[in-house]
């Protein structure tokens, strides 16, 4: 009978547990969250049923799909890597408010910086001089390599990418922009065409002057193998690479980029290219080694500028470097950043060279809230915490351990197709079978996902098919937290498999 598991059951490895896996690893009765000495106040607000009713009646329908889980939870309190719902239940947060809580929920140092600033000056704009702005700019610029010396502060990643596109077109004198399929850069009218995921597109004219090249994905793409990725866990595909220093997949994806330039752009010209150093919403996709180096050179040879979207990968999250692009041995012409920059406070930035920044002086361009005193005080405190608590180094060490442990799940379970990432920017791709790479159906993903939530673990979902678990926690998580997460994921997968019909 061709049921979902019936197809899988034809594979001998599907339901086979490794003999060394103990009963403890698949028994939820023994689960206990790692300890936490923070005690949240009791929730006294409206019941969740009223919140659900208000959400359905008054929030845009587009937000309803983002009410995670069949049985939703109402978050009441956060502290570091922990969240509490309105019933007092505690959760380990491995998604950080969509890769936004960088140093920890309500981190005391950041909270105190915000409180002190609010007591002094909550808001004014950059038309005036105020100390927090200039102190923050100096601190942020010290983190930037090369000639990246000038910053424009805004409020969100979409604003930052929108401005970066404008700067690229102004500086190059060419309107055409190149992006990567599966890339996500925002959904403003200008950016909807740059975001190359059809699930984020409306049936209206978008993307004029924007071209997407083939996504260089070593796992699901046409080319790639087990030597191509800069990750503790490689794909399970064979590889055509002659050595660790060369990459056959990169050669071929670069060829596709050259084809786009040859046939879709004005002869010999392009305005610029956007790339995330690791694609976030697209499913934590990593590129073959050398791809970004070679792509950036080609773009510059055609008169364009190179834009690195560090909205999710910046501020030490990838571990080895402070910025994700440094892991590709490149220095962009423009860098956009948001999310972790403010640990959840709405702020973002565009950093570029003095020459490119000068192009914005031809007309008035102003942002009322960008770089306000409160945002700058919070952003400054975040930089201090990352440095003083050694969070970048922590991401490198703990992230490698986390990815390696997740790799063991891939070896054990047929439905775990790929594990990838660097630092605490991690993806777990789920499939029906390893050979087919058919995405695990949405209902099956939801079943596993619901179990993780019920067991006190919050993770995200992403990828075009929604079949990638996105693991991007606050950077303060511990080894005990990782072990707990692995335990929960194993239980959730086992429970799902046990409920499938036998072949």
Residue-range domains of the chain with CATH: 4-34+392-498 (3.90.1150.10), 104-156+338-389 (3.40.640.10)
Question: Is the confidence at residue 312, as pLDDT, over 60?
Answer: yes
Which residues, 6 or more positions from 203, have their beta carbon under 8 angstroms from its beta carbon? none
Query: Taking a C-beta distance cutoff of 8 angstroms, is the pair 229, 236 a contact?
Result: no
* Average pLDDT taken over every residue of the chain: 92
Question: What's the CA gap between 120 and 277, in Å, rounded?
Answer: 38
Torsion of CA 379, 381, 386, 390, to 10 degrees: 170
Which tokens sit at 436?
A: 């087919």
Question: Is the confidence at residue 43, as pLDDT, over 70?
Answer: yes
Q: What confidence tens digit (pLDDT) does each residue in 448-488 have?
A: 999 999 999 999 999 999 999 999 999 999 999 999 999 99
Q: What confidence tens digit (pLDDT) does each residue in 101-157 have?
A: 999 999 999 999 999 999 999 999 888 999 999 999 999 999 999 999 999 999 999
Collect contacts of 223-227 with beta carbons under 8 A, ≥24 apart: 223/248, 223/249, 223/252, 223/253, 223/288, 224/249, 224/288, 225/249
- How far CA 40 is from CA of 78, 79, 93, 120, 148, in Å, comes to 8, 9, 16, 28, 42
Q: What confidence tens digit (pLDDT) does each residue in 377-401 have?
A: 999 999 999 999 999 999 999 999 9
Mean pLDDT of 6-19: 37
Question: What's the CA gap between 234 and 219, in Å, rounded?
Answer: 9
Q: Rounded to a whole number, what is the distance in angstroms from the first to the last CA of the chain?
A: 7
Burial status of residue 30 (CB atoms within 10 A of its CB: 0-12, 13-18, 19 or more) = exposed
pTM for this model (two decimals): 0.93
Q: How many residues does the chain have?
A: 503
DSSP code of residue 107: -
Query: Taking a C-beta distance cutoff of 8 angstroms, is the pair 137, 353 a contact?
Result: no
- How far CA 383 is from CA of 118, 151, 316, 472, in Å, comes to 19, 16, 10, 18
Question: Is the confidence at residue 5, as pLDDT, over 60?
Answer: no
Mean pLDDT of 342-352: 98
Question: What's the CA gap between 420 and 61, in Å, rounded?
Answer: 33
Question: What's the CA gap between 128 and 118, in Å, rounded?
Answer: 17
Give the 3-state secondary structure of 224-282.
CCCCCCCCCCCCCCCCCCCCCCCCHHHHHHHHHHHHHHHHHCCCCCCCEEEEECCECCC
Q: What confidence tens digit (pLDDT) does each residue in 182-216 have?
A: 999 999 999 999 999 999 999 999 889 999 999 99
Burial status of residue 202 (CB atoms within 10 A of its CB: 0-12, 13-18, 19 or more) = exposed
Q: What is the pLDDT of residue 68?
A: 75
Q: What confidence tens digit (pLDDT) does each residue in 274-296 have?
A: 999 999 999 999 999 999 999 99
Check residues 71 and 261 and name the one with the higher pLDDT: 261
Question: What's the CA gap between 205 and 201, in Å, rounded?
Answer: 10
Question: Is the confidence at residue 22, as pLDDT, over 90?
Answer: no
Which residues, 6 or more positions from 481, have their beta carbon under 8 angstroms from its beta carbon? 34, 81, 92, 473
Question: What's the CA gap between 328 and 249, in Å, rounded?
Answer: 16
Q: What is the pLDDT of residue 6?
A: 40
Which residues, 6 or more positions from 301, have their beta carbon under 8 angstroms from its beta carbon? none
Which tokens sit at 24?
A: 């403890």
Question: What's the CA gap between 299 and 320, in Å, rounded?
Answer: 26
Lowest-confidence pick of 235-244, 287-296, 312-321, 415-424? 235-244
Question: What's the CA gap between 239 and 339, in Å, rounded?
Answer: 35
Query: Taking a C-beta distance cutoff of 8 angstroms, is the pair 416, 425 a contact?
Result: no
């Amino acid at each position: 009978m061709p049921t979902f598991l019936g197809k899988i059951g034809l594979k001998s490895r599907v339901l086979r547990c490794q003999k060394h896996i103990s009963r403890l690893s698949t028994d939820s009765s023994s689960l206990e969250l790692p300890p936490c000495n923070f005690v949240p106040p009791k929730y006294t607000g409206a019941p969740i049923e009223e919140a659900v009713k208000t959400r359905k009646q008054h929030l845009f329908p587009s937000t309803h799909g983002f009410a995670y889980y069949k049985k939703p939870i109402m978050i009441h309190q956060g502290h570091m890597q922990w969240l509490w719902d309105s019933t007092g239940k505690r959760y380990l947060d491995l998604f950080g408010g969509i890769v936004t809580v960088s140093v920890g929920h309500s981190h005391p140092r950041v909270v105190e910086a915000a409180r002190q600033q609010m007591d002094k000056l909550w808001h004014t704009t950059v038309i005036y001089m105020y100390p927090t702005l200039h102190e923050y700019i100096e601190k942020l610029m010290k983190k930037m390599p090369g000639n990246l010396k000038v910053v424009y502060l805004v409020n969100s990643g979409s604003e930052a990418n929108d401005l970066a596109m404008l700067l690229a077109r102004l500086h190059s004198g060419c309107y055409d922009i190149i992006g990567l399929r599966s890339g996500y850069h925002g959904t403003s009218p200008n950016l909807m065409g740059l975001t190359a995921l059809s699930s984020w597109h409306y049936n209206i004219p978008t993307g004029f002057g924007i071209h997407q090249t083939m996504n260089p994905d070593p796992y699901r793409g046409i080319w790639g193998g087990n030597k191509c990725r800069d990750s503790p866990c490689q794909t399970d595909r064979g590889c055509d690479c002659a050595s660790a220093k060369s990459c056959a997949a990169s050669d071929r994806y670069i060829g596709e980029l050259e084809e786009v330039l040859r046939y879709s752009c004005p002869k010999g010209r392009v305005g610029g290219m956007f790339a995330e150093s690791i694609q976030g919403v697209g499913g934590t996709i990593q590129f073959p080694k050398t791809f970004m180096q070679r792509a950036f050179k080609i773009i510059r040879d055609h008169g364009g500028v190179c834009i690195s979207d560090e909205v999710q990968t910046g501020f030490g999250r990838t571990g080895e470097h402070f910025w994700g692009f440094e892991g590709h041995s490149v220095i962009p012409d423009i860098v956009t950043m948001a999310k972790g920059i403010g640990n959840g406070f709405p702020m973002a930035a565009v950093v570029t060279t003095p020459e490119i920044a000068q192009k914005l002086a031809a007309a008035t361009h102003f942002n009322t809230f960008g770089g306000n005193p409160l945002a700058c005080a919070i952003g400054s405190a975040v930089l201090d915490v990352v440095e003083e608590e050694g969070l970048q180094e922590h991401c490198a060490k703990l992230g490698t351990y986390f990815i390696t442990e997740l790799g063991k799940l891939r070896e054990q379970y047929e439905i775990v197709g790929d594990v990838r990432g660097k630092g605490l920017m991690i993806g777990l791709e789920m499939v029906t079978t390893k050979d087919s790479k058919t995405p695990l159906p949405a209902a099956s993903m939801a079943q596993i996902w619901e179990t993780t939530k019920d067991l006190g673990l919050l993770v995200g979902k992403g990828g075009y098919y929604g079949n990638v678990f996105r693991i991007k926690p606050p950077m303060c998580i511990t080894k005990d937290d990782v072990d707990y997460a692995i335990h929960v994921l194993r239980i959730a997968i086992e429970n799902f498999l046990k409920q499938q019909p036998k072949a």
